[in-house]
Structure 1
Amino acid sequence: MKKLFSLFAAVLFSALSFAQITLTSDPAHSRIQFSVIHLGINDITGNFDKSTLTINADEKNFVNSQVNFTVDVNSINTHIDARDKHLKNADFFDAEQFPTMTFTSTSLKKTRNNYYTLKGNLTMHGVTKPVTLNLVYRGSHVNAKNKKTTHGYQVLGTIKRSDFNVGPNFPEAVISDLVRIKGDFEMAAQ
């Protein structure tokens, strides 16, 4: 019986040493924001109200983790209804034809404590291109009531809208080609 218990413990320890956990973002405490420069003089910001970040985290070596996010394009929100409708139409995102944006990581490299270079494929407006983003681990908090751990992650980067054929009829003098992205996510194991 002791040998059986020892064997079971060894197998369990072995499995745990290669354990992965799946972290999923909490919709109430997560958001992807974007910013463009309008007329060369002013930042215009908005966000996507519906997005999900998932990290299949390798607990032994985080750089082996897989990072994915999806965005509901129809949830775009710039706080101006007419602009939101315009951004959803064929002039920009064409949300009827392309309702979802996705990102799938291809590599994760630690640059310093809690900072990573995140490379992957972004699919937007029916176009898939490789992009490089920054991922920052902001820390964790244990809820005193339910003992669950919440982790904070931030994704930062800049992409070119022209790479994805978004707003091709709007020159850079009107709307900057560079779009800054900032995603803030509270995540917990599922």
Structure 2
Amino acid sequence: MKKVIMAAALLFSSAGAFAQTWTLDKAHSNLGFTVTHMMLSEVDGKFQDFDVKMTSSKPDFTDAQIELTADVNSVNTNQEKRDGHLKTADFFDAAKYPTLAFKSKSISKVSGNKYKLMGDLTMHGVTKPVTLDAVITGPVTNPQSKKTLAGFKVTGEVKRADFTLGKAPEAVVSDEIGIRASGELVKN
């Protein structure tokens, strides 16, 4: 019996050794958001500088551990004055909180290549649990580089108030922030 327990412990402890590490292909990836302005139109923005790392040993990624970080100072809404305002203490307070981060807790398959991604989002010094929708495609082999790639698309919504992000009234800037991330991961 002792040998069986030792063999099982060895098997489970070595399972992590088979985990594959995936890194972001920044040339084929985006991290964006959308808010509604004046209850009239949507304003899109993105973070130019962000990174994602994923570790997974299962081919369907249901054991994936995902970490995302973004440089708040890289926010870009295609309007320099607004971008500058977003970096101030009125919104992101980039001087005090220079990064935002997401760390997964679990990922569960819904059907086919659709998943629910649960984790903690930290923004403006506040950490809250979030659930996001994810579509993962691949893996495939890039015919040119011969590297293994996986595609992802993540969407969801968070509330500005939950992260004390900006004091603008909802009539000016919606409380709801739509999140969109998409791109490719490369297996190392």
TM over 0.5: yes
Residue 153 of structure 1 corresponds to: 152
Residue 170 of structure 1 corresponds to: 168
Counterpart of 2:23, as a letter, is T
Residue 182 of structure 2 corresponds to: 184
Distance 2:52 2:134 in 1: 12
Q: Residue 85 of structure 2 aligns to a residue in which SS?
A: helix
Please tell me whether the aligned partners of residues 106 and 119 of structure 1 are also in contact (alpha carbons under 8 angstroms). yes
Please tell me whether the aligned partners of residues 16 and 57 of structure 2 are also in contact (alpha carbons under 8 angstroms). no
Counterpart of 1:93, as a letter, is F
Residue 85 of structure 2 corresponds to: 86
* Percent identity for Structure 1 against Structure 2: 43
Structure 2: segments with no counterpart, 5+ residues: 1-9
Counterpart of 2:177, as a letter, is V
Please tell me whether the aligned partners of residues 18 and 59 of structure 1 are also in contact (alpha carbons under 8 angstroms). no
Residue 44 of structure 1 corresponds to: 43
Task: Give 1:1-190 correspondences, 5 Å limit.
Answer: 19-60=18-59, 62-167=61-166, 169-190=167-188
Question: What's the RMSD between the two structures over aligned residues?
Answer: 1.9
Bigger Rg, which one = 1
Counterpart of 1:98, as a letter, is Y
For normalisation by structure 2, the TM-score amounts to 0.88
Please identify runs of 4+ aligned residues in structure 1 that moved more than 4 A. Answer: 15-18
Quick check: 23-32 or 78-87, which moved more? 23-32
Please tell me whether the aligned partners of residues 53 and 185 of structure 1 are also in contact (alpha carbons under 8 angstroms). no
Distance 1:98 1:149 in 2: 35
